[in-house]
Amino acid sequence: MKKPRRNHSAAFKARVALEAIRGEKTVAEIAAHHEVHPTQVTAWKTQLLENATAVFGGEAVAADERERIRELHAKIGELTVERDFFRQRAREIPRLERKAMIDRGSRVAVTRQAELLDLSRSSVYYSPRALPDRDLCLMRRLDELHLQLPFYGSRKLTRELRKEGHDVGRRHVVTLMRRMGIEAIYRRPRTSIPAREAAIRPYLLGNLTIDRPNQVWASDITYLPMARGFMYLGLFWMSPAARCWRFGSPTL
């Protein structure tokens, strides 16, 4: 029957180790007396001798340990600030360039590199698939049609492709146009909204009384969609008191 494992107290281990250090008995005699294995007696003796310095110099060791811990904490804080600094700078780099910075042979795990560069792990492991030949053919034809008819949108381009015998839907045409970075050229709504950087000029006629001809001149410009492109129309007129209007002719 296997004997149950004994759990020796710290005081028992110290007493046995001291007996072995005194050398009055052999290790085998001490082990037989206390019913332990000789190897265990030797291990306890070695542990007692190795830790004897800490017993007599405990305060100095503890002070050195506290100082080392403070230095490590300061270093950790410095590294944390530097990591946050470089992470913020890395986020300002375009996504494709950050993805190219991933080093799969580095000791740093790819997942950790993606986290530091603010990239999703799935995007790092994703390998783009090549476009099928059918889509490449459609994209080439779309590019030709867009150069000939730049004001055609996805609906009209789909109609032209179907006339040529291509079995394609409008949604797929929209996807290909987005991939190619092309879109129809047409007048956008609310085009009179100024840019944020543009200066806003004051309105000088707010409190002005207009009572004579040629006192105030005004002008405006707009553009008219034509069959192939646009033409600009300039408008000029004088003070209302002159009862005279003059329109500019369309110009390219």
Judge contact between 27 and 41, C-beta under 8 A.
yes
Residue 213's contacts (CB-CB under 8 Å, 6 or more residues apart) are: 238, 239, 241, 242, 244
Instruction: Output the pLDDT for position 186.
Output: 78
Band (173; pLDDT cuts 50, 70, 90): very high
Considering 8-17, 62-71, 140-149, 199-208, the range whose residues carry the highest mean pLDDT is 140-149
∠ CA 132-133-134, rounded to 5°? 90
Instruction: Output the pLDDT for position 4.
Output: 60
| pLDDT, mean of residues 62-82 | 76
Q: How far is CA 169 from CA 136, 155, 161, 238, in A?
A: 15, 9, 9, 54
Q: Residue 13: pLDDT above 90? A: no
Instruction: Output the pLDDT for position 53.
Output: 60
Query: pLDDT tens-digit profile of 108-137?
Result: 788 888 887 888 888 887 777 888 899 999
As a whole number of angstroms, the distance between CA 120 and CA 193 comes to: 37
Instruction: Output the pLDDT for position 191.
Output: 60
Q: Residue 252: pLDDT above 70? A: no
pTM > 0.85: yes or no: no
Write the burial class of residue 98 (CB in 10 Å: 0-12 exposed, 13-18 middle, 19+ buried): buried
Instruction: Output the pLDDT for position 241.
Output: 46
Band (242; pLDDT cuts 50, 70, 90): very low
Buried b (16+ CB within 10 A) or exposed e, 24-45: eeebeebbeeeebeeeebeebb
The tokens describing 133, both together, are 């030949």
